[in-house]
Structures are given as structure tokens and as C-alpha cells.
Chain A
Amino acid sequence: MIRYLIPLGLFILLVAFLAFGLKLDPREVPSPLIGKPAPAFELPLLADPSRKFSPAEMKGKVWMLNVWASWCVTCREEHPVLLQFAKSGSVPLYGLDWKDQNADALRWLARYDNPYTLTVADADGRVGIDYGVYGAPETYLIDKAGVIRYKQIGAVTPDALQQKILPLVRELQQQ
């Protein structure tokens, strides 16, 4: 009797593996940078290219770096969530305008409103490469010591914000 159940058992195992495989998103590549210091850079501000910003200025603060671009459609979807997040005043939100034209980016911010404390312009995408960016939007949560603690690939959704980002923010702020 049992020998006839073996194929059924194997079939159920196979289905379980396939079901698990369907849940995995191959587009989401885990970042090796989590737990490592955020790469240093110095980039001109989008609004005023004569001024520069470097992540070293954020030492001692928990902050978020959001990679976006005016050509990025998902960024527009994500935008209301970021606006609300910025209004909550939880942690400062900085923008990295990735592989974009300054004029387009400024027009985009004027049109959809600006949630960022400030935005830096990474026109040739070099800093993006240092951060392992392979698409926009991507968002990094950086702790007081300047270490990347979390990376959101794709839009920051209200779910991701409530379930992952905000609890981690509270934890990091207490350190």
C-alpha cells in the first residue's frame, strides 16, 4: 500500500517546491551592502549645483536616501507615500536623482511636490553604481554610524513602511 503513496508524496513535494519558487522574486537581488558603511560621495545639490552634499554630514542621525528620477514611472507611484512619510517627520529623507537631467528633475519636483530635505544629482550614475543601484526607485535606511541597515528595492509601499521601515527606524533611533 505504502509504495503506491510514494509517487503521490514526491508529487506533493514537487508542488511545494514550485509554490515556494513562485513566491520568490528574481528581480529582487539582495544587496551585499546591508550592514556595511554607506559608500562616501560628494555630489552637487539638484537645486543649487554650486553646493555639495556628502553622507558624512549625516553622522549621528538615522536617515533615508531615496533613489529616484523624473523618467521613472514607479517613482511617481511611490511619491505620495514618500510625501506622507516626510510630513510625519520620522527621519530626514534625502533624494538621489539618478541618471537624470537637472531641469527635468526640478520640473518633476515642482509638479508633484518635494518630500526631500534635499536632493543630490547623480547625472552619470557613478554613485548609483557604488550603492548597487540597478533600477529606480530604491531606498536605503542608514543608521547613526553611517551603516546601511535596510534597502527597499522598488517602490516604498505603505505596507513596507509600516511593517519593516518604521519599526527599524524606531529601533535605530534608540541606539
Chain B
Amino acid sequence: MRFLLLVVAMAAALTFGAASIAKEAVPMAQDEAVEQRMLVISEDLRCLVCQNESLAGSRAELAEDLRREIREMIRAGKSDREITDYLVNRYGDFVLYRPPLKPVTWLLWFGPFVLLLGALAGLAIYLRSRGRRLGDEPADATEGIDGHAPGPGTRA
């Protein structure tokens, strides 16, 4: 993960980081810190043009513009929360790779667990009815000599 981040950071520094340093003549160390934070924030944001890419990784023009806005907000001393709110206010929750917990997203967050519970309940019901069916049969037919269950095919 850290290696991946480093690669992304290096690629970003090569492609547009260098250009922005050249243009705005910001001290190198400060700009690197801004770039790092921008990458961390934009990793969790969806690019709207190529929807399966994060804002950090996308080469779409709009992604570049949005990264520029994020850089400027970082320089203006905005918090991470303020920056993601800025984007959510314009593009909606869709930009977040981690959607917030609210009534509309309950199905999204809890749906899989509901399905799992349903499946477990179904399994329990099935096993119980199967156990009952087996229990109905004569004991000597279902149990082996030492109390072992007989292998398949021994039951009539």
C-alpha cells in the first residue's frame, strides 16, 4: 500500500507536480507537503469523468482542475473535512468512495449483513427440519455399532 502510494506520488510529481512548482515558484518543501496531503485526500475521492479511478490517479482534465482546487484549499489552510465537503456540495456523495451513513445508504451498508443473516436463518431452519426428519427414523437404522453414524448408502 505504502509502495503504491509512493509510486502514485512519484508519478504525480513527474506529471503535474513539477509544472505547478515551476509556475508558482513555491518553496519546494512546502509544495511537497501540499502535494502529499492532496494525494491522501484525493485517493478517497472518485473522479467523475473516469468513474473507476480515484481523483488522485485520474488524468482527466476535470480531475486535474479539481486537484488544483484541492491544492489551493490546502494552501488556504482548510481542513480535510472542509475540502471533501466542498466537493460533496458540488458533485454529491457520489464523489466519496466511502459513502456516509444515512437513511439512503442504509441498504448499501447493512444490506450484505441482512442477506448474511437471512442465509444463516435459512440454513438453521433447514438443518433443524433435516435433523427432525432423521430423528423420526428408527434409531437402530441411523446409528452404527459404536454410536457412529453409518456411512452413506447403509440407510435403507
Listed stretches A47-55, A107-115, A128-136; interface member: A128-136
With contacts A99-B61, A125-B62, A129-B69 known, is A29 near B94, CB below 8 A? yes
Tier of interface size on chain A: 10 to 19
B91: nearest chain-A partner, CB-CB: A132
Residues of A contacting B: mostly: loop
With contacts A99-B61, A129-B66 known, is A134 near B92, CB below 8 A? no
With contacts A26-B51, A29-B48 known, is A130 near B62, CB below 8 A? no
8 Å CB contact of A134 from B62, B69, B89, B93:
B62
B6 within 8 A of A: no
Nearest CB in chain B: distance from A163 CB, A: 24
Tier of interface size on chain B: 10 to 19
A81 within 8 A of B: no
With contacts A29-B92, A32-B89 known, is A129 near B48, CB below 8 A? no
**Could you tell me the distance between the alpha carbons of A162 and B65 in the complex, rounded to whole angstroms?**
35
Nearest CB in chain B: distance from A152 CB, A: 16
Question: Which residues of B, 125-140, contact A by the 8 Å Cβ criterion?
Answer: none
With contacts A134-B48, A134-B49, A135-B49 known, is A129 near B65, CB below 8 A? yes
**Could you tell me the distance between the alpha carbons of A99 and B65 in the complex, rounded to whole angstroms?**
10
Q: Evaluate contact between B91 and A29: CB separation under 8 angstroms.
A: yes
Nearest CB in chain A: distance from B81 CB, A: 17
A31 within 8 A of B: yes
Q: Evaluate contact between A31 and B49: CB separation under 8 angstroms.
A: no
**Could you tell me the distance between the alpha carbons of A134 and B61 in the complex, rounded to whole angstroms?**
10
Question: 0/1 per residue, B61-89, Cβ < 8 Å to A?
Answer: 11001100100000000000000000011
**Could you tell me the distance between the alpha carbons of A131 and B89 in the complex, rounded to whole angstroms?**
10
Question: 0/1 per residue, A3-30, Cβ < 8 Å to B?
Answer: 0000000000000000000000011011
**Could you tell me the distance between the alpha carbons of A138 and B19 in the complex, rounded to whole angstroms?**
30
Nearest CB in chain B: distance from A169 CB, A: 25
Question: Which residues of B, 24-70, contact A by the 8 Å Cβ criterion?
Answer: 48-49, 51, 61-62, 65-66, 69
Nearest CB in chain B: distance from A55 CB, A: 16
Q: Evaluate contact between A129 and B51: CB separation under 8 angstroms.
A: no
A125 contact set on B, CB distance < 8 A: 62, 65
Listed A/B pairs (17) with beta-carbon separation below 8 Å? A26-B51, A27-B51, A29-B48, A29-B94, A30-B92, A30-B94, A32-B88, A32-B93, A33-B90, A99-B61, A125-B62, A129-B90, A130-B90, A132-B91, A134-B91, A135-B49, A135-B62
The chain B residues found within 8 Å of chain A, CB to CB, are 48-49, 51, 61-62, 65-66, 69, 88-94
The chain A residues found within 8 Å of chain B, CB to CB, are 26-27, 29-33, 99, 124-126, 129-132, 134-135
